[in-house]
């Protein structure tokens, strides 16, 4: 039961930060001239790339942290601040949860394949997603925890592909009001995750 609970909480945490809902409008804009089959292929490849990127930081992040002499507490606090900033941007209507600048979007339109850049990185597996994976990895005590995190990443990837695959239909059904409500809900979850990461980073430092 504990491992299942850890898997569930890891999935929710990663999904809230990846938040494919905010990627839908950008994805549709970048693939507006593509056929349905091409759009599906781009979404699938981006989801696969996201698994490899986040898994690389999950298993290689510890070595990077040790190389630079960064403590786990430092990772949790820094990651928490980054996640809080991202969560606040989703709650702020002026930000709108947009992850690409206009310049990046114009550049992306010129690419024949957007699955890796900018879709997989930084749109889906950006600094916030990497931070939450590193933060969760810093709290893993057993090998099964890493296995659960890997499964959670794969589940998030599958959910992300589903959202992107159905993005055109979901945008029509939800509308701007529904999209905004769901985005703010994800933002609140992300904000809570960031605060908890900071608390987990500070507590071991308190005598």
Band the pLDDT of 1: cuts 50, 70, 90. Answer: very low
The mean pLDDT of 135-147, rounded to a whole number, is: 86
Band the pLDDT of 159: cuts 50, 70, 90. Answer: very high
Band the pLDDT of 180: cuts 50, 70, 90. Answer: confident
Question: Cβ–Cβ contacts within 10 Å for residue 158, how many?
Answer: 12
Listed residue (59, 49, 47) closest to 15, CA to CA: 47
Summarised one tens digit per residue, pLDDT across range 101-129 is 666 666 767 677 888 988 888 889 988 89
> Strands, DSSP E only, in the chain?
none
**Range of weakest confidence among 32-36, 62-66, 72-76, 95-99:** 95-99
Listed residue (57, 174, 46) closest to 116, CA to CA: 46
- Give the residue extent of every domain in the chain: 2-200
Give dist(CA 46, CA 67) in Å, integer.
30
Listed residue (32, 45, 17, 26) closest to 189, CA to CA: 17
Residue 48: per-residue pLDDT: 96
Residue 57 has pLDDT above 90, yes or no: yes
């Amino acid at each position: 039961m504990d491992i299942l609970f850890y898997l569930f909480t890891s999935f929710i945490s990663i999904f809230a930060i990846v938040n494919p809902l905010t990627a839908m409008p950008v994805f549709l804009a970048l693939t507006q001239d593509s056929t349905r089959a091409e759009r599906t292929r781009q979404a699938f490849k981006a989801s696969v790339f996201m698994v490899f990127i986040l898994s690389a930081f999950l298993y290689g992040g510890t070595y990077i942290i040790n190389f630079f002499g960064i403590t786990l507490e430092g990772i949790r606090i820094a990651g928490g601040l980054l996640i809080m900033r991202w969560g606040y941007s989703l709650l702020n209507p002026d930000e709108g949860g947009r992850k690409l600048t206009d310049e990046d979007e114009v550049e992306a339109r010129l690419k024949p394949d957007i699955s890796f850049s900018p879709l997989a990185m930084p749109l889906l597996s950006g600094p916030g997603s990497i931070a939450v994976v590193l933060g969760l990895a810093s709290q893993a005590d057993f090998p099964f925890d890493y296995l659960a995190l890997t499964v959670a990443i794969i589940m998030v990837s599958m959910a992300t592909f589903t959202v992107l695959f159905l993005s055109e239909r979901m945008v029509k059904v939800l509308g701007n009001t529904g999209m905004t409500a769901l985005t703010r809900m994800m933002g609140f979850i992300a904000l809570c995750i960031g605060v908890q990461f900071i608390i987990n980073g500070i507590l071991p430092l308190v005598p």
